[in-house]
């Protein structure tokens, strides 16, 4: 998406390298899935690559050979289609803006150095690429390990540490699967297993046992927070939102419409909160926010409810207190509120505990070498990388870089809502304008 916006914005031809260890363009984790039942969590009307042209994806779907038929703007189409949309948008953009080139490089960037002439990127196959500017669009990292009190042999065969690794295919259709985490990743895993004809039990556990709520067709609700006087505390924010939800309910309006009205202001709301209040939000409200804000397609929500009613999916609220792994099975010990330990037995344990956000603990060569060289540092809340308001990486000494930028999930700390397309497309457009303008000024001397 950034490449598309750069090509469109630049007055002169650009050479853009898209370096991805997966060797694909536009897929990432979200859109690489070949499972057509893995649906977008966002309506097609909100998934355009262009904030300024919100119907672009809807129009692509209507004319695309991929679907053959128009999708209503409130539809939720398969995620794999979205990767194709991004690739097609990039090709279309290159075809209409002559001169610029985009080169895909299938490799992992393991090192990044800032030099006199620009940025040197070293890849796992030993190649070096010298570029003028580099943007880290590295997405989410694999889940953190479930917190277990003692060192556990987590390399054991029956433990799937990363649900995106393809390892789910080893699971037998009658196996009992234990899942740590009850959010969007768990939902994906359940849909994946069901697509393979899974008949065995799936037992999922998280601290509160909350499941993502389903979308519902709701109208638009007017913005209700004055932009020049945003709440400065979590308590004030909560009070205002709850009052608005109650007012809306009296008029028969669903709470989802009220929360959706917050969307354009979420980043401003986050920025208005002092760091201590952001911490308070993370400690107390985050699980509620996640399940109500990041909803799933109605058909997905219905399938999860059906599985729960049938007893095939069981959800527990509790803390993981221990794991025993053998070559043939797993015992996950959980501690439910006010109760002693409850052992859960299964054939497999799948980690769906959400992406690792604490970059100090991420075992990734690129991040490690950047931290070691002082080129980047974690944000104050340890939700990602520290960046300036205009997406520049902030180095160990607090200086904003002129050549290194980051977008999307890694900049969660400064913006909070930064993982979904409606947020990312704005960042891409803004960074493209900024880079092209800087380049124009430089070229003009």
Ligand X SMILES: Cc1cc2nc3c(=O)[nH]c(=O)nc-3n(C[C@H](O)[C@H](O)[C@H](O)COP(=O)(O)OP(=O)(O)OC[C@H]3O[C@@H](n4cnc5c(N)ncnc54)[C@H](O)[C@@H]3O)c2cc1C
Q: Which residues bind ligand X (CB under 6 A)?
A: 19-22, 28-30, 40-42, 79, 108-109, 137-140, 188, 366, 408-409, 419-421, 424
Q: Which segments of 66-159 does DSSP mark as H helices, in order? A: 79-96
Which is nearer to ligand X, 137 or 350 (by Cβ)? 137
Q: Let me know: does 31 contact 409? Beta carbons within 8 Å.
A: no
Secondary structure E strands in 278-353? 313-317, 319-325, 330-335, 341-346, 348-351
Which is nearer to ligand X, 8 or 233 (by Cβ)? 8
Which is nearer to ligand X, 28 or 413 (by Cβ)? 28
Q: Which segments of 314-354 does DSSP mark as H helices, in order? A: none
Contacts of 398 (CB under 8 A, 6+ apart): none
CA distance 292 to 258: 11
CB atoms within 10 A of CB 87: 15
Minimum CB distance to ligand X, residue 387 (Å):
13
Minimum CB distance to ligand X, residue 391 (Å):
12
Partner residues linked to 113 by β-bridges:
120
Which residue's C-beta sits nearest to ligand X?
Answer: 28
Which is nearer to ligand X, 176 or 419 (by Cβ)? 419
Minimum CB distance to ligand X, residue 42 (Å):
4
CA distance 382 to 384: 6
Which is nearer to ligand X, 43 or 201 (by Cβ)? 43
Which is nearer to ligand X, 70 or 139 (by Cβ)? 139
Minimum CB distance to ligand X, residue 419 (Å):
5
Minimum CB distance to ligand X, residue 15 (Å):
18
Helix (H) or strand (E) holding 400: strand 400-406
Of 349, 421, 318, which is closest to residue 160 (Cα–Cα)? 349
Partner residues linked to 330 by β-bridges:
325, 346
């Amino acid at each position: 998406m950034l490449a598309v916006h750069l090509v469109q914005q630049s007055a002169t031809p650009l050479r853009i390298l898209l370096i991805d260890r997966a060797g694909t363009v536009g897929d990432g984790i979200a859109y690489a899935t070949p499972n057509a039942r893995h649906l977008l969590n966002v309506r097609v009307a909100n998934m355009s690559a262009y904030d300024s042209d919100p119907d672009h994806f809807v129009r692509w779907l209507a004319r695309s050979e991929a679907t053959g038929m128009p999708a209503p703007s409130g539809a939720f189409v398969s995620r794999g289609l979205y990767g194709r949309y991004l690739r097609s948008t990039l090709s279309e953009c290159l075809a209409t803006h002559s001169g610029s080139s985009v080169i895909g490089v299938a490799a992992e960037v393991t090192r990044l150095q800032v030099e006199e002439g620009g940025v040197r990127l070293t890849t796992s196959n030993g190649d070096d690429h010298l570029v003028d500017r580099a943007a880290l669009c590295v997405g989410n990292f694999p889940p953190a390990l479930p917190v277990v009190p003692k060192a556990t042999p987590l390399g054991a065969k029956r433990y799937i540490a990363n649900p995106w690794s393809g390892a789910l295919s080893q699971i037998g259709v009658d196996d009992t699967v234990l899942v740590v985490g009850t959010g969007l990743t768990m939902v994906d895993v359940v849909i994946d297993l069901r697509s393979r004809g899974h008949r065995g039990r799936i037992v999922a556990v998280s601290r509160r046992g909350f499941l993502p709520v389903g979308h519902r067709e709701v109208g638009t609700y007017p913005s209700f927070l004055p932009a020049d006087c945003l709440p400065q505390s979590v308590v004030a924010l909560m009070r205002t939102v709850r009052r608005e939800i109650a007012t809306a309910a009296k008029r028969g309006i669903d709470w989802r419409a009220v929360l959706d009205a917050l969307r354009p202001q979420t980043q401003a709301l986050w920025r208005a909160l002092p760091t201590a209040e952001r911490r308070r939000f993370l400690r107390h409200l985050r699980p509620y926010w996640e399940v109500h804000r990041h909803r799933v397609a109605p058909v997905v929500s219905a399938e999860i409810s059906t599985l729960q009613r049938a007893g095939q999916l069981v959800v527990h609220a509790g803390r993981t207190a221990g794991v025993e792994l053998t070559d043939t099975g797993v015992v996950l010990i959980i501690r439910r509120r006010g109760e002693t330990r409850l052992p859960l037995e299964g054939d497999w344990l799948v980690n769906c505990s959400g992406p690792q956000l604490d970059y100090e603990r991420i075992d990734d060569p690129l991040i490690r070498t950047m931290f070691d060289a002082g080129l980047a540092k974690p944000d104050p809340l340890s939700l990602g990388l520290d960046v300036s308001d205009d997406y520049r990486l902030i180095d160990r000494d607090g200086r904003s870089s002129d050549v290194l930028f980051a977008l999307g999930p890694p900049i969660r700390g400064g913006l909070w809502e930064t993982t979904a397309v409606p947020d990312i497309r704005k960042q891409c457009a803004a960074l493209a304008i900024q880079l092209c303008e800087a380049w124009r000024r430089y070229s003009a001397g």
